[in-house]
Structure 1
Amino acid sequence: MRNPIHKRLENFETWQTLTFMACLCERMYPNYQLFCKVTEQSENGKVYQNILNLVWESLTVKGAKINFDNQLEKLENIIPDVNDYEFFGVVPALDACEALSELLHAIIAGSVLEQAIKVSQLSLQTIVTMLETQEDHELTETELKAREDIQQELDVQWQIYRTLKEQEERSVNLILDLKNELREAGISNIGIEIEH
């Protein structure tokens, strides 16, 4: 599905792009957390959140020294294999891990645009897969655009984008506000609520 936001991301500074990606990972986290709870792997959920916390730290704490290669290795150990599970929950969990992996790759390699577009697409793709699984058939772009879930996701992505775009200088407060707002809402892109 095409998302007009992708073209706009080109004009972002690195910190804006990374924050955009971190926000989307934050929204996908409840999907992974629920999967971990159902499969009794709660420790993995904590690993995911710790890695994401370190990303936020690197965006907000000046001179934070974090070994992201090491974090990527930890993440790779907790990515579920879709072939091992029979239920739908593994798909959004995998998408959440892939999104976080793209974010870590962006930090390590310093090339952010391509990764940001992938994370944006992954977040939408989770919803598309959910809708198509529920309806048991493939949906056209027009059908998808008419769906409230898709509309909501696009709105959230635009909202995050606009908030960041209005801020020309890197603002720690703004980054923390975005993080806290998403954490407090605690609802994923497919409507899964976080368990505190």
Structure 2
Amino acid sequence: MIKNPIHKRLEKLESWQHITFITCLCERMYPNYHLFCQVTNQQENARIYHNILNLVWEYLTVKDVKINFDNQLEKLENIIPDINDYDFYGIVPAVDACEALSELLHTIIAGSTLEQAVKVSQLSIQTVAIFLETELERELSEQELKNSDEIEQELDIQWQIYRLLNECEKRDISLISGLKTDLREQMISNIGIKIDC
């Protein structure tokens, strides 16, 4: 699996920065789940996923907000599709998006933020790698993956998010809100799925 040089650097960040980093990656994976829900006629599930993401952004930006994340995790677990129930590629990035959001909620509940940040970063890269292999109908070597525009773009975006967070001395609400706005305006996933929200 591709090693992302960012993983070592994530150690320097504080927990709020890790959580923001993971939330940004979930936001980028959301269109994959949204499209899956559209295709399988489960739009309500996409809405639940997005609501949970909204609550995490709220948790990051609103002082002393009280959110029951155990409850949100339960809601998420009810909408994770079973990979064995579907025989088309779209299930894979959809399940990855759910796994990323699940990791995010576990991070907030349990507090082991660095480990989860690395895990979700890796997961997002893996989604892109599987997408490329599915398109080309063959396995790709690590070098081929590294040289692909799609992986390069994924690493670049993760790096940009990291760099912006790393520049903050303390929790910067306007930066967090800005990241959310930018990602939502683009609404393009890590594998190039674009949705209108």
Same fold (TM over 0.5): yes
What displacement does 1:194 show? 1.5
d(CA) in 1 for partners of 2:195, 2:5: 29
Equivalent residue number for residue 152 of structure 1: 153
One-letter amino acid matched to 1:25:
C
Once superposed, what is the RMSD of the aligned Cα atoms?
Answer: 0.6
Question: What TM-score, normalized by structure 1, do the two folds share?
Answer: 0.99
Equivalent residue number for residue 15 of structure 2: 14
Q: C-alpha offsets along residues 140-172 of structure 1, whole Å, 9 cap, x if unaligned? A: 110001100000000000000000001111110
Matches within 5 A, 1:114-129: 114-129=115-130
One-letter amino acid matched to 2:147:
A
What displacement does 1:195 show? 2.3
Structure 1 residue runs of 4+, over 2 Å off?
none
Q: Does 1:41 align with 2:33?
A: no
Q: Does 1:180 align with 2:175?
A: no
What displacement does 1:75 show? 0.3
Q: Does 1:110 align with 2:129?
A: no
Equivalent residue number for residue 91 of structure 1: 92
One-letter amino acid matched to 1:149:
E
Equivalent residue number for residue 76 of structure 2: 75
Question: What TM-score, normalized by structure 2, do the two folds share?
Answer: 0.98
One-letter amino acid matched to 2:70:
D
d(CA) in 2 for partners of 1:180, 1:31: 18
Q: 5+ residue gaps in structure 2?
A: none
One-letter amino acid matched to 2:154:
E
Q: C-alpha offsets along residues 4-46 of structure 1, whole Å, 9 cap, x if unaligned? A: 1011101101111100000000000000000000000000000
One-letter amino acid matched to 1:98:
E
